[in-house]
Amino acid sequence: MPVADSDIAGANLTRDAALLADVVREAGALALSLFRTELKTWIKGKTSPVSEADIAVNDLIEARLRAATPGYGWLSEESADDSARLGKSMTWIVDPIDGTRAYLARQDDWSVSIALVADGLPVLGAVFAPASDEFFFATRGQGTVLNGAPIAAAPGAEIHFPKIAGPKPLVERLGGMRDDESLYPRIGSLALRLVRVAEGRLDAAFAGGNSRDWDLAAADLIVHEAGGEMTSLAGERLVYNQADVRHGLLVAAGRARHAHIVKHFRENPIL
């Protein structure tokens, strides 16, 4: 069951929000100091690139957050999973460098993404793109800010393809895309792609079926607190810190546009 608001207050979100903002800034500075340098790299699993920068940033974040909140759970892309997190009400969910391929290609579209999740739902979220100095931050019930200024998702329900990002075969299923139209250019960090909806730069963003908690949790809160929605194509809210951290096809958009897109995919399901 979702944690009650009184329980969230009891978890000292003010303290945790300040801690999170500081740690994300530190992590971003470290990642930026290693950006466009010669790094050791290797492949994790079948195709996922990892670099010594990913590990260094992860180590910094883990040391700072776990020392300050020893009773919280921990889930990170670059840490061995510990099932003890499943018994924790509060859990940090971390992607030290989201968009490692872009980072290693010396492109700017990567980010540090961290969320604090309470009983499966994010209550704090930060996505920081150090190369462009864009810091997105949200606290449940308090809105979303970009570099300290409030932001909001774009209103309306119309579909304007040049302001939509995501896998082209998926987006094309909306129908109506003209031959002379193209989607918004690819964004290497999925978290950064999603929070572009929160600032209104994108009307909608889609995610393919291979995302994990650490790609999504911070962006999820940032989008919702900016007046948007981020769900499965069927309109189901995401739940985090479960045994299986994988998620299927997703869409983020302002509420009216999101409702329009979800209605379309309910009527035209992907089999």
**Is 98 annotated as ligand-binding?**
yes
Distance CA 21, CA 103 (A): 22
**Collapsing DSSP states into helix, strand and coil, what is residue 247?**
strand
Rounded to the nearest 10°, the torsion over CA 115, 25, 229, 75 is -20
**Is 8 annotated as ligand-binding?**
no
CA 68 to centroid of chain Cα atoms: 23
Burial of 165 (0-12, 13-18, 19+ CB in 10 A): buried
**Is 270 annotated as ligand-binding?**
no
Token match 């990642």: residue?
A: 31
Token match 């921990």: residue?
A: 74
95 forms beta bridges with: 113
Q: Which helix (H) or strand (E) holds 39?
A: none
Q: Which amino acid is at 46?
A: K
Binding residues are 77, 95, 97-98, 215
Binding residues for Mg(2+) are 77, 95, 97-98, 215
